[in-house]
Amino acid sequence: MNVPYIGITDFMTYGQVERMLAVFKANVRPGQHRRLHVGVMMSRKTLYGLETKWSKAFPLKEAIADIFGSSETMNCLHYADYDAVDVSESLARAISFGGDGLNALQLDMIWPNPKHVARAVNSSGKKLEVVLQVGKDAIEQADNDPEKIVAKLQEYVGVAHHVLLDKSMGKGLGMDAEGLIPFAQAIRDTFPDLGIVAAGGLGPESIGLVEPLAKDFPDISIDAQGKLRPSGSALDPIDWDMAEVYLIRALGLLR
């Protein structure tokens, strides 16, 4: 579970996975221990069929299991619910749509109750890697203090396997890697086995934003979303030519 990854979020079809996996295999170097993270979005509203602007941007829940068709990728369901409603029940229901290929779960939530998360994961019977998003609001609730972040993370020992530092949260805002270093260092010092992930405005032309973090944490994982389309909006489909360039350049940077 500690193998770092390079992520793309907003896959809509298995064909897109096949294309990116072929690019990944053609460009990963011998001994470069990286995985391709296949991110698929779901929110509480799309889970329950409620009206939302994201309905056309996220795949139908019934289609998610097909997207997670490869056994060679980190197949991660990103579940978004910033109001944290009925976490145990909703997460368990969301996981059920992942199919047999689902092997990871990202919590796009603000400090969800770890007991509720554990209950949902355990009830699924699946061995899932859990990625806890620590986004802008979560960081602000911890007073932008790395030590307070670490104190909060104590509650997730045994529940979360990766911590995602992301102040953009899919909106394409440029990453302040230097500003994230104190948070990453505090996490690494306290939880050496916890994977550290960075996201925020990464794309084919901005992959260099993560370089300061990568120098200090060569095993850092990354994820990209908004900047993989010309508009920069996650409401629009990914430009897979842009995603291909991002993936090649990310593999070149994260050696």
The pLDDT score that the predictor gives to residue 172 is: 46
How many angstroms separate the Cα of 98 from the Cα of each of 75, 106, 176? 9, 12, 33
Q: Could you tell me the domains of the chain?
A: 5-253 (3.20.20.70)
CA 5, chain centre distance (Å): 10
pLDDT tens per residue across span 186-207: 999 999 999 999 999 999 999 9
**Residue ranges, the chain, pLDDT below 50:** 169-172
Q: Tokens 């260092």 sit at which residue?
A: 185
The pLDDT score that the predictor gives to residue 20 is: 98
- pTM of the model as a whole: 0.95
The pLDDT score that the predictor gives to residue 84 is: 83
pLDDT tens per residue across span 12-34: 999 999 999 999 999 999 999 99
